[in-house]
Protein backbone atom coordinates (compact mmCIF):
# COMPACT_ATOMS: atom_id res chain seq x y z
CA UNK A 1 0.00 0.00 0.00
CA UNK A 2 1.23 3.46 -0.90
CA UNK A 3 0.62 6.41 1.39
CA UNK A 4 0.13 10.09 0.72
CA UNK A 5 0.59 12.11 3.87
CA UNK A 6 -0.54 15.51 5.06
CA UNK A 7 1.09 16.45 8.37
CA UNK A 8 1.02 19.44 10.71
CA UNK A 9 -2.20 20.84 9.28
CA UNK A 10 -3.01 23.46 11.92
CA UNK A 11 -6.60 24.66 12.20
CA UNK A 12 -8.26 27.02 14.67
CA UNK A 13 -11.55 25.73 16.08
CA UNK A 14 -13.81 25.63 19.11
CA UNK A 15 -13.21 22.36 20.94
CA UNK A 16 -13.41 21.25 24.54
CA UNK A 17 -15.68 20.55 27.46
CA UNK A 18 -14.89 23.53 29.67
CA UNK A 19 -16.72 26.85 29.47
CA UNK A 20 -13.57 28.79 28.57
CA UNK A 21 -12.88 26.35 25.70
CA UNK A 22 -16.31 27.04 24.24
CA UNK A 23 -15.57 30.77 23.95
CA UNK A 24 -12.15 30.86 22.33
CA UNK A 25 -10.71 29.03 19.34
CA UNK A 26 -7.79 26.69 19.92
CA UNK A 27 -5.28 25.16 17.54
CA UNK A 28 -5.82 21.58 16.47
CA UNK A 29 -3.04 19.88 14.52
CA UNK A 30 -3.91 17.07 12.10
CA UNK A 31 -1.56 14.44 10.70
CA UNK A 32 -3.07 12.23 8.01
CA UNK A 33 -1.64 9.17 6.28
CA UNK A 34 -3.93 8.08 3.44
CA UNK A 35 -3.84 5.05 1.15
CA UNK A 36 -3.20 6.00 -2.45
CA UNK A 37 -2.55 4.38 -5.83
CA UNK A 38 0.76 6.07 -6.56
CA UNK A 39 1.78 3.84 -9.53
CA UNK A 40 -1.37 4.82 -11.45
CA UNK A 41 -0.66 8.53 -10.95
CA UNK A 42 3.00 8.06 -11.82
CA UNK A 43 2.06 6.44 -15.13
CA UNK A 44 -0.18 9.32 -16.22
CA UNK A 45 1.44 12.20 -14.32
CA UNK A 46 -2.07 13.59 -13.85
CA UNK A 47 -3.58 15.02 -10.67
CA UNK A 48 -6.89 13.32 -11.54
CA UNK A 49 -5.23 9.93 -10.97
CA UNK A 50 -4.06 10.59 -7.46
CA UNK A 51 -5.25 11.95 -4.14
CA UNK A 52 -5.23 15.74 -4.29
CA UNK A 53 -3.86 16.59 -0.85
CA UNK A 54 -4.50 20.30 -1.39
CA UNK A 55 -8.21 19.55 -1.87
CA UNK A 56 -8.16 17.39 1.28
CA UNK A 57 -6.51 20.19 3.27
CA UNK A 58 -8.96 22.81 1.99
CA UNK A 59 -11.98 20.66 2.89
CA UNK A 60 -10.67 19.87 6.38
CA UNK A 61 -9.74 23.49 7.11
CA UNK A 62 -13.31 24.47 6.28
CA UNK A 63 -14.92 21.63 8.22
CA UNK A 64 -12.77 21.74 11.35
CA UNK A 65 -12.73 25.54 11.43
CA UNK A 66 -16.53 25.62 11.45
CA UNK A 67 -16.98 22.74 13.92
CA UNK A 68 -17.63 23.01 17.65
CA UNK A 69 -17.13 19.52 19.06
CA UNK A 70 -16.51 18.84 22.71
CA UNK A 71 -14.23 15.82 22.25
CA UNK A 72 -11.22 15.28 19.99
CA UNK A 73 -12.53 11.73 19.58
CA UNK A 74 -15.66 13.04 17.85
CA UNK A 75 -13.64 15.40 15.69
CA UNK A 76 -11.32 12.56 14.66
CA UNK A 77 -14.21 10.31 13.61
CA UNK A 78 -15.83 13.03 11.52
CA UNK A 79 -12.58 13.96 9.81
CA UNK A 80 -11.87 10.31 8.99
CA UNK A 81 -15.39 9.94 7.55
CA UNK A 82 -14.86 12.96 5.28
CA UNK A 83 -11.54 11.66 3.98
CA UNK A 84 -12.87 8.15 3.36
CA UNK A 85 -16.18 9.16 1.82
CA UNK A 86 -15.40 12.33 -0.10
CA UNK A 87 -11.93 11.50 -1.42
CA UNK A 88 -12.29 7.80 -2.21
CA UNK A 89 -9.52 6.87 0.20
CA UNK A 90 -9.48 3.19 1.22
CA UNK A 91 -7.63 3.68 4.52
CA UNK A 92 -6.62 6.58 6.75
CA UNK A 93 -4.50 6.99 9.86
CA UNK A 94 -5.32 10.26 11.60
CA UNK A 95 -3.60 11.95 14.51
CA UNK A 96 -5.47 14.82 16.17
CA UNK A 97 -3.25 16.87 18.47
CA UNK A 98 -4.79 19.31 20.92
CA UNK A 99 -1.44 20.82 21.81
CA UNK A 100 -1.26 22.34 25.27
CA UNK A 101 -4.48 20.75 26.54
CA UNK A 102 -2.70 19.27 29.55
CA UNK A 103 -0.22 21.24 31.60
CA UNK A 104 3.32 19.85 31.38
CA UNK A 105 2.48 17.76 28.31
CA UNK A 106 3.65 18.88 24.89
CA UNK A 107 1.13 16.89 22.87
CA UNK A 108 -2.29 15.47 23.72
CA UNK A 109 -4.78 13.82 21.41
CA UNK A 110 -5.90 10.69 19.65
CA UNK A 111 -4.71 8.49 16.81
CA UNK A 112 -7.27 6.48 14.85
CA UNK A 113 -7.14 4.21 11.82
CA UNK A 114 -10.18 3.64 9.68
CA UNK A 115 -10.83 1.75 6.47
CA UNK A 116 -13.52 2.32 3.88
CA UNK A 117 -16.42 -0.09 3.89
CA UNK A 118 -16.63 -1.97 0.62
Helices then strands, each counted (H, E), the chain: 3, 4
Q: Which residues pair with 33 in a beta bridge?
A: 5, 93
For residue 58, indicate whether it is catalytic: no
Catalytic residue among 23, 25, 90, 98: 98
Report the phi/psi class of residue 109: left, alpha or beta, with left for phi > 0 and alpha for psi in -120 to 50: left
Evaluated on CA atoms 12, 5, 51, 83, the torsion sign reads: negative
Q: How far apart are CA 118 and CA 84, in angstroms?
A: 11
Q: How far apart are CA 76 and CA 42, in angstroms?
A: 30
Active site residues per annotation: 98
Amino acid sequence: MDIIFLHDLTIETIIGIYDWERKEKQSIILDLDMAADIPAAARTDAIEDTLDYKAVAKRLIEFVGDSQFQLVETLAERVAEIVLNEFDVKWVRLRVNKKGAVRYAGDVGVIIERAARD
